[in-house]
Amino acid sequence: MKVTVHGPAAGPGPDGMISSWAPDQPVEVDDGNRQAVAWARTFIASGLATLVEDVAAKAPRPARPAPGA
């Protein structure tokens, strides 16, 4: 997931540590890290960031065979 944080701003970052962002700083978040993705979605919802690239779509699971098949 990629977002652009509209700084200057400071606060908890996707890793939980205090971060400081410059104006329109790109931030890349690991799609597999649920807390980091939640952080990015919160920043987007608050207007502090803009979504650039959403979480990659998961591949569909293969269908299970019917019982007795």
Other Cβ atoms closer than 10 A to 21: 20
Evaluate whether residue 13 is within a structural domain: yes
Evaluate whether residue 64 is within a structural domain: no
Evaluate whether residue 11 is within a structural domain: yes
Positive/negative CA dihedral, 33, 39, 40, 41: positive
**Which domain does 20 fall in, by range?**
2-53
Evaluate whether residue 24 is within a structural domain: yes
- Determine the pLDDT at residue 64: 78
* pLDDT above 70 coverage of the chain, percent: 93
pLDDT digits (tens, 9 = 90+) for 14-47: 998 999 999 999 999 999 999 999 999 999 999 9
- Determine the pLDDT at residue 63: 75
Evaluate whether residue 44 is within a structural domain: yes
Is residue 36 a contact partner of residue 60, using CB atoms and an 8 Å limit?
no
Evaluate whether residue 58 is within a structural domain: no
Evaluate whether residue 19 is within a structural domain: yes
Q: What is the total count of domains within the chain?
A: 1
Evaluate whether residue 46 is within a structural domain: yes
